[in-house]
Structure 1
Amino acid sequence: MLIRRTDGTMRLVTILACIRQLIGREGRDPPGAGPGEVCSLLINTFAGDSGEEGEHEEPGSAEAIRTACRRMQGAETKGDLLRIIAGEVAAFDLHDLEAMNARFERKVSHLPEGYRDRLLESVREEIFSAHHRLLLLSRNGGGQRMDEPPDPALDAYCSMVAEACTAKAREKDPRDLYLKYLLSAFTIFVQEEPAHPVGTPFPGGQIVDEWEGAYLCPARDMADDVPYALCPYCPAAQSTEPTYPEMRARRREQRQRESLANYWTNYKG
């Protein structure tokens, strides 16, 4: 079981139960998938970090991480933030990314193959694609809108990262956890995209979706009270209707009907 029932995690158990009720649909849960475990991995970044002890020779410095977080808080533009994140990520290599992905693969190895493959595809995008885009953007000197200020939530995000990594350092090296937060900071505050890519499947069949320029998540509001989670800072909004993949076609049909009704009302009397 990935969730230890301590005082700080009892709320998470309740939240995950709510998520299961919210996004579950009869016949859609993959058999034996363990919805609570999957949701915990997706929502609770801190709890999902369980790298092997001794994986790095030198433990990560919590003080160095706190210093870097203060620098990120001082970023006046997205370009400034990009350069700081790129500098921090430069301390990691491909092995670190592969190890992060391998740990997640082991944790979900018991899931049904079809669901597991869809989930792992999203996780690989979250890790490797984010890293690749970060390198390209930083090497090319940034891109459009890099002169804009980052979202004001960056300040609280950096404080959360510093606190989470300091807490992790009391148990073991916080280096791997810090890498997760750096990649997510790039995705959320530089790219302004959801922490989990569009298409990420949740137990029950719903996905992180995009519709008419807005990002939608079926579990966004259920994770605000989870310590050290990414969700409170994610640009995805809580979906107000189910986000099953087939819902896109239904939304398009609805928009077409609305447009047709508007045409007949305003132009044809």
Structure 2
Amino acid sequence: MRLRAILEGIKRFVGREGSTRSGTGPDEVSALLIDTFAEDGGEEAGRGGTVSTAAIRAACRRMQGVKTKGDLLRIIADETAAYDLRDLEAMNARFERKVSHLPEDYRDRLLSSVREEIFGAHHRLVLLSRNGGGRELDEPLAPAFGGYCSMVAEACTAKARENDPKYLYLKYLLSAFTMFVVEEPAHPVGTPFPGGQIVDEWEGTYLCPVRDLADDVAYALCPYCPAIQSTEPTFPEMRARRQERRRRECLANYWTNYKG
């Protein structure tokens, strides 16, 4: 299975020597973070009712037709208005159940990132749609957005063959806001992967330790994420090392060009 091979590669890439602990389930955690279908619990929709694939496909076509971030923001706000706080809580509760067996220290850090991914994104979406933004909302959308809409329509249609796609669609809507309107990674900075590496930011660039390893996972967010593949490990302590390296480079440049 292609996903299994990818997960094995991710474990080798992000793992820190001697850091694997019994029961951490690195395969499962990596799948939850990368494979959107694995993250979606598959339960039936709650009291808010279902969302038809016809409605989702129609919304995706509307989104494909917009040109600016502001236009996309308005459609996403309209679509997410059908959901309420209970839906967000249900999404979060699903993920909590799936990772309940993980070691507490790692689980708490992971859940903190997931809550930001769900509740934080929704809060920012509501505020921006109500209060408006600056000129950045007049900026054109990234070229990959058309492909993202097609992927969402296909993914929700596939999910509908098994269960209601309501929460999967909400996941994609929030991710569209995060990745294409505010241009941030689908998983917030600080999201921990098994082995210790994290999604990071350095000098205005978002870094992900598994970005290029997950491009072939069906319906994944990774191919559309603005984060780039990190070229060096992204353990939390690496930020201090990068800062020290940059300081040394600046000093070397100063002595070479001004005091040399």
TM class, shorter-chain normalised? over 0.9
Q: TM-score, normalised by structure 2?
A: 0.97
Q: Whole-Å Cα distance in 2 between the matches of residues 144 and 59 of structure 1? A: 36
Pick which of 58-67 and 97-106 moved more.
Answer: 58-67
Deviations 1:111-152 (A, max 9, x none): 000000000000000000000000000001233400001111
Q: Aligned AA for 1:120?
A: L
Number of the residue aligned with 1:205 = 196
- Work out which of the residue numbers 43, 48, 52 in structure 2 matches 1:61: 52
The answer as to 2:124 corresponding to 1:124 is no
User: Retained in 2: the 8 A contact 1:30–1:204?
Assistant: no
Q: In the TM superposition, what is the alpha-carbon distance from 1:52 to its structure 2 partner?
A: 2.0
Number of the residue aligned with 1:143 = 134
Pick which of 59-68 and 231-240 moved more.
Answer: 59-68
Alignment of 1:168-207 (within 5 A): 168-207=159-198
Number of the residue aligned with 1:220 = 211
Number of the residue aligned with 1:238 = 229
1:47 partner SS = helix
User: Retained in 2: the 8 A contact 1:77–1:146?
Assistant: yes
User: Retained in 2: the 8 A contact 1:30–1:203?
Assistant: no
Q: Structure 1: give runs of 5+ residues left out of the alignment.
A: 1-9
Q: Whole-Å Cα distance in 2 between the matches of residues 154 and 39 of structure 1? A: 24
Q: Aligned AA for 2:197?
A: Q
Number of the residue aligned with 2:86 = 95
Q: Whole-Å Cα distance in 1 between the matches of residues 128 and 154 of structure 2? A: 28
Q: How many residues align?
A: 260
Q: Whole-Å Cα distance in 2 between the matches of residues 230 and 148 of structure 1? A: 22
User: Retained in 2: the 8 A contact 1:137–1:143?
Assistant: no
Number of the residue aligned with 2:3 = 12
Q: Whole-Å Cα distance in 2 between the matches of residues 122 and 144 of structure 1? A: 29
Q: In the TM superposition, what is the alpha-carbon distance from 1:60 to its structure 2 partner?
A: 1.9
How many percent identity over aligned positions? 76
Number of the residue aligned with 1:38 = 29
Q: TM-score, normalised by structure 1?
A: 0.94
1:146 partner SS = helix
2:186 partner SS = coil
- Work out which of the residue numbers 119, 127, 151 in structure 2 matches 1:160: 151
* RMSD over aligned Cα atoms: 1.1
